[in-house]
Amino acid sequence: MSSVVGPIDEDSWARLALEIVAPEVLAPADVSVGDRWLFFEPAAKDAVSTAETGRAVINDFVRLVRSEDISEVQSYARRFGPLGLGRGSAETPKVPWTERADRTAVEQPAQVREDRREWRRHAEEVRFLLQGIEVVLRIGKPFGAWAELNAGPILPEPLYKPRPAGAPVADEAQALARYVQAWLREGRLTPRLEYRGRLRLCFDGEGLVSVLAFELLHALGHPELVFTCDSCGNPYVAVGRRPSPSTSHYCPRDRDTGRWSKGQEKYRQKAAARKASPKPPPD
């Protein structure tokens, strides 16, 4: 018979009864595309809405690396708004495109433009970090792409130089944590506590970079969910059912078409095998 009275769990910090909430960003009214820039048009004051968040933010961002079609970048930007690359200069002012707890404090975001090349470089860095998380933390092998990672926009200085003989996986895991830390700093994530039926630890941040940093933190803490898509070749964070490491994996975008084409392939193989070795006729 169990009793509710027992020893206090010394590790109870690991299971805090709190909900962790991602930063919220404001969806633009529209995004137009120039040769070099993406132009973000803010919504009217009475029509301001927050962008949807969740794993789609990071999974769809990574896909932009391989996309040659600027309309894909545009439709992503229309959903999630500016990255928040502004450094406060006259050319790229920091603008309040991020939702705050106290809505009255929100200024109307100004029109902002961001460099398309910077978008691609950020997408490349997120892609490398997810690949690193998959290889080092989920599979437990050394990661071979550090030279490319070191050229990332968030950390232009090399943070990690693998030794010629190869580094222990623990060193690479530590390096990945430092990269994600740099993203958290770049997104200026700030914790805020609120009580809404239960305790919520909400993160405020600046721009889409803060949401991507939050998603990188989630991936780092859940490497068992990070896979490479067998259809498009991009790394992604699984949603829905937990994938089995032994089967094929498809990102949410390719899940339906990937399984369908794999089924077709199996059917073709079986049909070819039947043709190659027809059953002997019955006696």
Residue number, 30 or 256, with CB nearest to Zn ion: 256
What distance in Å separates the CA atoms of residue 204 and residue 191, rounded to the nearest whole number?
A: 6
Minimum distance between the CB of residue 66 and Zn ion, rounded to whole angstroms? Answer: 10
Minimum distance between the CB of residue 257 and Zn ion, rounded to whole angstroms? Answer: 9
Which residues, at least 6 apart from 70, have a Cβ–Cβ distance to it below 8 Å?
A: 33, 116
How many whole angstroms from its chain centre is CA 6?
A: 41
Binding site for Zn ion (CB under 5 A): 229, 231-232, 251, 254
Residue number, 149 or 229, with CB nearest to Zn ion: 229
What distance in Å separates the CA atoms of residue 169 and residue 177, rounded to the nearest whole number?
A: 12
How many whole angstroms from its chain centre is CA 246?
A: 23
Minimum distance between the CB of residue 78 and Zn ion, rounded to whole angstroms? Answer: 21
Residue number, 124 or 254, with CB nearest to Zn ion: 254
Q: Which of 65, 81, 183 is nearest to 127 (CA)?
A: 65
Minimum distance between the CB of residue 262 and Zn ion, rounded to whole angstroms? Answer: 12
Minimum distance between the CB of residue 127 and Zn ion, rounded to whole angstroms? Answer: 12
Which residues, at least 6 apart from 51, have a Cβ–Cβ distance to it below 8 Å?
A: 24, 25, 26, 27, 79, 80, 81
Residue number, 119 or 250, with CB nearest to Zn ion: 250
Q: Which of 187, 174, 26 is nearest to 122 (CA)?
A: 187
Residue number, 32 or 248, with CB nearest to Zn ion: 248
Residue number, 95 or 229, with CB nearest to Zn ion: 229
Length of the chain: 283
b/e code 120-145 from CB counts within 10 Å (16+ = b): ebbbbbbbbbbbbbbbbbbeeeebee
Residue number, 140 or 263, with CB nearest to Zn ion: 263
Minimum distance between the CB of residue 231 and Zn ion, rounded to whole angstroms? Answer: 4
In one-letter notation, the amino acid at residue 153 is P
What distance in Å separates the CA atoms of residue 92 and residue 209, rounded to the nearest whole number?
A: 15
Minimum distance between the CB of residue 152 and Zn ion, rounded to whole angstroms? Answer: 22
